[in-house]
């Protein structure tokens, strides 16, 4: 078995289990069993559960960035690219396995006790705010509009997860349109 194949199996199993049930609820034996490898093999690939969690969060960042950029790629204008974030969210919120933002979930569960989780969540959220702010500035808005739109996206994620209402994405998109319209009228 190649190293990459075993690593991928562990990461895939961990991502699924952690997202569905939480990190602390999943033991290493269950993870090993779900990945279909021996415990010895798993520990040869990852020195600790913390290392697995960090890798899962890196993968989630990649999925998020790919999804956001794919949604934006359909548009030319920065304004439409910004609004496409909410279309991406709407599709995600409607998936059967949607359980909210993995970064918010893991930060709430372990951010105070596992610095790797706190760092991964903080980096992920900072990069998203930077991306949204860059688009807002390209659209002719003040940088603060980028933060405001990012906050709408974050709020939509939390609300959709807790209330099981995928409509949160459309409501946040409508608010983003208002922000974008106000920003242009005052420029």
Question: Is 80 exceeded by the pLDDT of residue 183?
Answer: no
Predicted confidence (pLDDT) per residue in 48-74, tens digit: 999 999 999 999 999 999 999 999 999
For 7, the domain range is 1-47
Q: Can you spell out the DSSP letters for 153-184? A: HHHHHHHHHHH--TTHHHHHHHHHHHHHHHHH
Task: Please provide the average confidence, as pLDDT, over all residues in the chain.
Answer: 93
CB-based contacts of 48: which residues, under 8 Å, 6+ apart? none
Question: Is 80 exceeded by the pLDDT of residue 81?
Answer: yes
152 and 126 part of one domain: yes
pLDDT of residue 182: 79
pTM: 0.90
pLDDT of residue 185: 44
100 and 43 part of one domain: no
43 and 61 part of one domain: no
35 and 60 part of one domain: no
Structure tokens of 121?
A: 């969540």
Rounded to a whole number of angstroms, the distance between the first and last alpha carbons of the chain is: 60
Q: What percent of the chain has pLDDT over 70?
A: 95
pLDDT of residue 40: 92
Question: Is 80 exceeded by the pLDDT of residue 153?
Answer: yes
pLDDT of residue 128: 98
CA nearest to 24, candidates 82, 111, 89: 111
137 and 73 part of one domain: yes
pLDDT of residue 3: 58
pLDDT of residue 34: 96
Structure tokens of 17?
A: 């289990």
The mean-pLDDT minimum among 6-10, 85-89, 115-119, 181-185 falls in 181-185
62 and 26 part of one domain: no
28 and 67 part of one domain: no
CB-based contacts of 132: which residues, under 8 Å, 6+ apart? 82, 85, 146, 147, 149, 150, 153
14 and 80 part of one domain: no
Predicted confidence (pLDDT) per residue in 85-115, tens digit: 999 999 999 999 999 999 999 999 999 999 9
Residue 107 in contact with residue 118, Cβ under 8 Å?
yes
């Amino acid at each position: 078995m190649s190293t990459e194949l075993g690593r991928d199996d562990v990461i895939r199993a961990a991502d699924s289990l952690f997202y569905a049930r939480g990190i602390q609820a999943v033991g290493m034996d269950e993870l090993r069993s779900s990945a279909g490898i021996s415990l010895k093999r798993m520990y040869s690939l990852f020195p600790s559960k913390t290392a697995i969690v960090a890798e899962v969060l890196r993968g989630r960042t990649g999925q998020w960035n790919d999804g956001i950029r794919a949604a934006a790629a359909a548009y030319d204008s920065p304004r439409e690219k910004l609004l496409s974030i909410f279309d991406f969210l709407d599709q995600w919120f409607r998936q059967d396995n949607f359980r909210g933002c993995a970064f918010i979930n893991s930060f709430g569960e372990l951010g105070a006790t596992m610095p790797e989780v706190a760092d991964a969540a903080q980096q992920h959220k900072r990069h998203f705010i930077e991306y949204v702010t860059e688009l807002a500035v390209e659209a002719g808005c003040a940088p603060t509009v980028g933060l405001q739109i990012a906050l709408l996206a974050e709020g939509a994620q939390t609300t959709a997860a807790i209330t099981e209402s995928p409509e949160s994405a459309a409501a946040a998109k409508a608010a983003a349109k208002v922000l974008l319209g106000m920003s242009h009228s005052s420029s």
